Amino acid sequence: MTGRGGLRAADEPGSTAPLAPGRPVVVRAPGKVNLALQVSPLGADGYHRVLSVFQAVSLVEEVEASPADGLSLTVTGPQADAVPADETNIAWRAAVLVAERAGVDPDVHLHLRKGVPVAGGMAGGSADGAAALVACDALWGAGLSRDELHELAGELGSDVPFALLGHTAVGTGRGHLVTPAMTRGEFCWAFGLRIDGMSTAGVYSTFDDLQRAGTLADSFDEEPSTAMMHALRAGDAHALGACLRNDLEPAALEMAPGLGETMEVARSAGALGVVVSGSGPTVAALARSRQHALAIAAAMTAADVVDDVATAVGNVPGARVVSQPA
């Protein structure tokens, strides 16, 4: 990664510092916003092809892995009560995968500190999975390679490999095959949040219904737009705002029409671009600066079109060890 203001792409997951196996490890992983989410019609195999341009943002999840007898998990933070604390949790499944690959028992207590909206289309669960992979690898001294971590991430879910890489990347396949994108500078975001999440499966089902009804045309592209990639390389927020795209947005608006009002408020506040993040319901507004992001967030709050707001900067690192107690 180059110095401040230079071009940079996703770097390696994990920490460059040597770690002492067996001591508690804290790993931080970012949520994301989809700068572009391009979705094909449902294929004969029952799947959609997806091309996504992800950007990691400074709303983060923390996973602390501590030595324990057996596997257990606890969760704190906003909407923690909506997060399962059993074997269905993606971080739990990540620990099991690392233990199997390392040939050890999955003896670990995982504590998740939520900082990314739950079921908000910002991949908070995927960030938990990525953080747990890195944390358990470090805790047990497994020494898994970059390729092994990414292989396990792909088994966990389509957004998990990106949460390992961070920064900005293009995802293909189910979104799990990620290629770093060269990006300059930082991008400032305001997010309009809703307590009630949206089912990704439900949004895709509505997307399929709209296409079958002929109200949503097939506009799937195999590549991200040249204009978007140029905007990222130039660090041009104005140009990037004009390129934001989410093929699932009409389906999300069909299921939650109030999102349209949130988007209009953000546009009226001068947002450079506004898009539903992922499958929603989070509305992401690209701002000119950090101060402008605060102003957009304040406008959404004043208009009473959101349950909460957050601001963040984009193009931050992926899953990283941030502390290991002495």
Query: Binding site for ATP: which residues?
Result: 117-127
Torsion of CA 233, 237, 240, 245, to 10 degrees: 130
Nearest C-alpha neighbor of 153 from the set 91, 66, 63, 83: 91
Residue 209 annotated as catalytic: no
Q: Give me the phi and psi of 3, to 5 degrees please.
A: -70, 175
Q: Which helix (H) or strand (E) holds 97?
A: helix 90-102
Q: Computed from CA positions of residues 8, 64, 59, 145, in that sequence, does the dihedral angle turn out positive or negative? A: positive
> Hey, is 292 helix, strand or coil?
helix
Distance set, CA 171 to CA 49, 162, 200 (Å): 11, 8, 17
Q: What's the DSSP call for residue 264?
A: H
Nearest to 63 by CA among 106, 121, 114: 114
Among 32, 114, 128, 236, which one carries the catalytic annotation? 32
- Which residue bears the tokens 């097939």? 218
* Residue 92: partners with Cβ closer than 8 Å, 6 or more residues away: 71, 73, 86, 110, 132
Q: Is 159 tagged catalytic?
A: yes
Nearest alpha-carbon partner for 124 in 154, 169, 79, 167: 79
Count of Cβ atoms closer than 10 Å to residue 253 Cβ: 17
Cis peptide before 281 (omega within 30 of 0): yes
Mode of pairing for the β-strands spanning 7-8 and 283-287? unpaired
Closest listed residue to residue 133, CA positions, set 318, 278, 9: 318
Binding site members: 117-127
- How many residues comprise the chain? 326
Pick the catalytic residue from 114, 128, 137, 159: 159
Q: Which residues are marked as active site?
A: 32, 159
